[in-house]
């Protein structure tokens, strides 16, 4: 059992998800996103663990694929209940609750993908505001416009 009050198990969103084994209040740290950081990544590095790489700040990437990372199975949602915050002073990334989270709730966050990245990553969160692709919240209206105007016309 994780010392952070979370566990990974099958998710209705996709694959494995991160679930609360205790309740969390707004602003509470849930679990760190652990891994090694690098300023450069290449295709060989991402081939084995593409879904776990996070750009935690401009030009700084974190590989969270290690089994030591308690937050690695947190799924994306268009209506997340947490956010990933990089703490500059401690050089740590943490999932922080943005809504009250009850025991057994799935913990999700917005992956923050660009439109170009999101076009290759479908979203399965099933929320009413789901954009159908994993794209950062501020970019979703532009994605919807793009998809509407890029449809083939007969």
Q: Per-residue confidence of the chain (154 residues) as pLDDT tens digits?
A: 578 999 999 999 999 999 999 999 999 999 999 887 776 665 555 545 556 777 777 777 888 888 899 999 999 999 999 999 988 888 888 999 999 999 999 999 998 888 888 888 899 999 998 888 888 888 887 888 877 776 555 4
Rounded CA gap, 98 and 113, in Å? 19
Rounded CA gap, 54 and 107, in Å? 17
Tell me the pTM. 0.84
Query: Can you give the residue ranges of every domain in the chain?
Result: 6-110
CB-CB contact of 77 with 97 (8 Å): no
CATH superfamily of 6-110: SET domain (2.170.270.10)
Reduced 3-state DSSP string for 86-128: EECCCCEEEEEECCCECCCCEEEECCCCCHHHHCCCECCCCCC
């Amino acid at each position: 059992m994780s010392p952070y009050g979370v566990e990974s198990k099958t998710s209705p969103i996709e694959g494995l998800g991160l679930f609360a084994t205790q309740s969390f209040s707004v602003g509470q740290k849930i679990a760190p996103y652990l891994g090694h950081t690098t300023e450069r990544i290449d295709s060989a590095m991402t081939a084995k663990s593409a879904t776990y790489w996070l750009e935690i700040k401009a030009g700084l990437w974190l590989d969270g694929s290690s089994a030591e990372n308690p937050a690695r199975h947190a799924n994306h949602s268009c209506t997340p209940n947490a956010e990933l915050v990089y703490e500059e002073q401690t050089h740590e990334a943490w999932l922080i609750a943005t809504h009250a989270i009850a025991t057994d709730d799935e913990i999700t966050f917005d992956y923050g993908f660009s439109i170009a990245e999101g076009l290759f990553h479908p979203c399965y969160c099933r929320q009413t505001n789901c954009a159908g692709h994993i794209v950062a919240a501020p970019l979703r209206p532009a994605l919807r416009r793009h998809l509407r105007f890029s449809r083939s016309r007969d």
